[in-house]
Structure 1
Amino acid sequence: MHPAGPAAAAIATLWWVMLIGATAIFVLVMALLILGLRRREAPDTPEAESRRERVFIHGLGLGFSLTILAALTVYGLVIGERLLPRPEPGLVTVRAEGAQWMWRFSYADVPDRVTEGVLHIPAGRPVDVQITTTDVIHSFWAPRLTGKLDAIPGHVNVLRIEADTPGDYAGVSAEFSGPGYTAHRFTVRAHDEAAWDTFLRGETE
């Protein structure tokens, strides 16, 4: 709910839009239910009953709800498509390898550099995280920066992350992977330009 990157901001907006749409459908359904349970003083004629059915069930109950659901589905697909990783200028690539119970990170720009428990990235630049695991399925998630993606043995999934400003951002493994998984955490450390250059030179941990 407190995004610190463009991907997380898009996901937060999607959450709010879906909540508003779901609330609108819920309110309409409850209103129709109340109207349907109200006692009428005199029974309707068959023609009036048929007209009420078309208005309340077909028009409002089905038409309104299906329109809202279709709009939410299209919006969700558009947001999902925007979150897909694509080549961009200044793109940084890192590899995240999960294991019970740690995360190991290596960096394409500094092949001999490996960190454990802390993922270093430059702030304000897109980063593709290549996610895999050495044992069971884990799930890589930095909630304020992006959505989560599974780490699957023998497979590499790519997740695009970006931090708006320098700082430390908490990360968790959001997949049950055995006793102790609740402590399977990491930190994403976003550096400003000077600190990132220093990291690339191997002068910081």
Structure 2
Amino acid sequence: MTRSAAPDGTASWPPPALDPAGPFAEPLHTLSWVLFGMGLIVTLIVVAALAVALFGPRRWRDRLGGRKLIWIGGLAFPVVVLSGLLIYGLGLTSHLTQEPEPGEMRIRVTGEMWWWRVAYLDGEGREAFQDANELHIPTGQPVVLELDSADVIHSFWVPRLAGKVDMIPGRRNLMRIQADAPGAFGGQCAEYCGGPHALMGLVVVAHAPADYQAWLARQSQPAATVAIPMPGMQVFQRAGCGACHTVAGTVFNGQAGPDLSHVGSRRTLGAGILPNNQGTLAGWISDSQAIKPGNRMPAYPVLTGQELRDVSAWLESLK
């Protein structure tokens, strides 16, 4: 049996929501099967009642249409079943959104139109550095996500690691994720947020603890190539890209768009919709609107082919 859907969107079995990869997805997996089972039971009861109403003996049909059975089947039964499922579900998942405990790792994820701003927080809750459209976590350790939105309502969903939690402007919601083994887990905005909502994906990358510490050390410092004169850096400056994007170690400090300090090390572009390489970088810079219509990055048809190759090579080097 193959594993669930990969971050590139390829389909496989079982579906991600039914293939938990961490302890905070397990309760939702259990709840899903309970709901499926109860739904099947209710469906069988309804089908049986319909069969009696159509083909059963007259005495059974008369009893089926009696006032007492209508009160029981039409009111008491749904109230008891739905109330029981609600109480069971709330009890099963109540620990998923508790306040952070001392020492727990925290990451703040902000939904933007239509990408994800990711801020890694230190032990005091202060921002250490930013990333975009990817979350990196150590395996075997719970991570508290602080979820909010900069514009409209979004919804954070990585099916194999946790359930859906809405991201609401002006409000901080919490959720916990944890991966039991290294791997990449695809996610998606699960609340329609206008425009290219369907193209607002993300990837959660789980590392072995030692590998995560090495990744963290690299991300905490500017990329090595920012100190090397490259033609692409001049193109980036002339095009005004630094007005929207930050590159650590340079004068570029824009906040409107994703932080590009280590963009070359990311797996995807455009919030999970393209593989990240020099060719896709050049295509995205040239005309991102043709790839993801409605996103907030303008096209740059004024750049020549050589300029696109230069700037994409520089960005790819930022690792």
TM-score (norm 1): 0.82
Alignment match, 1:105: 118
- Seen in structure 2, the aligned counterparts of structure 1 residues 192 and 61 have a Cα distance that, compared at 3 Å, is same
**1:44-193 residue pairs with structure 2 within 5 A?**
53=66, 57=70, 65-88=78-101, 90-109=103-122, 111-193=127-209
Cα distance in 2 for residues equivalent to 1:174 and 1:127: 20
How many residues are treated as equivalent by the alignment?
200
- Seen in structure 2, the aligned counterparts of structure 1 residues 50 and 25 have a Cα distance that, compared at 3 Å, is closer
Alignment match, 1:201: 217
Deviation of the 1:29 alpha carbon? 2.0
Unaligned runs of 5+ in 1: none
Deviation of the 1:101 alpha carbon? 2.3
**1:25-40 residue pairs with structure 2 within 5 A?**
25-38=42-55, 40=57
Select the structure with the greater relative contact order (CA < 8 A; seq sep ≥ 6): 1
Cα distance in 1 for residues equivalent to 2:56 and 2:204: 60
Deviation of the 1:174 alpha carbon? 1.4
Deviation of the 1:16 alpha carbon? 0.9
Q: Which amino acid counterpart does residue 153 of structure 1 have in structure 2?
A: P
Cα distance in 2 for residues equivalent to 1:39 and 1:83: 48
Alignment match, 2:41: 24
**Equivalent residues of 2:98, 2:174 under 8 A apart:** yes
- Seen in structure 2, the aligned counterparts of structure 1 residues 138 and 70 have a Cα distance that, compared at 3 Å, is closer
- Seen in structure 2, the aligned counterparts of structure 1 residues 119 and 51 have a Cα distance that, compared at 3 Å, is closer
TM-score (norm 2): 0.55
Deviation of the 1:88 alpha carbon? 4.2
Q: Percent identity?
A: 37
Cα distance in 2 for residues equivalent to 1:94 and 1:51: 56
Cα distance in 2 for residues equivalent to 1:59 and 1:183: 47
Structure 1 vs Structure 2 CA RMSD: 2.9
- Seen in structure 2, the aligned counterparts of structure 1 residues 160 and 201 have a Cα distance that, compared at 3 Å, is same
C-alpha offsets along residues 28-82 of structure 1, whole Å, 9 cap, x if unaligned? Answer: 12212222333547x69xxxx6799488556667665554333322211212313
Unaligned runs of 5+ in 2: 1-17, 221-264, 266-319
Cα distance in 2 for residues equivalent to 1:70 and 1:82: 20
Alignment match, 2:226: none
2:25 to 8, 25, 33: 8
Q: Secondary structure at the match of 2:24?
A: helix
Larger proportion of strand: 1
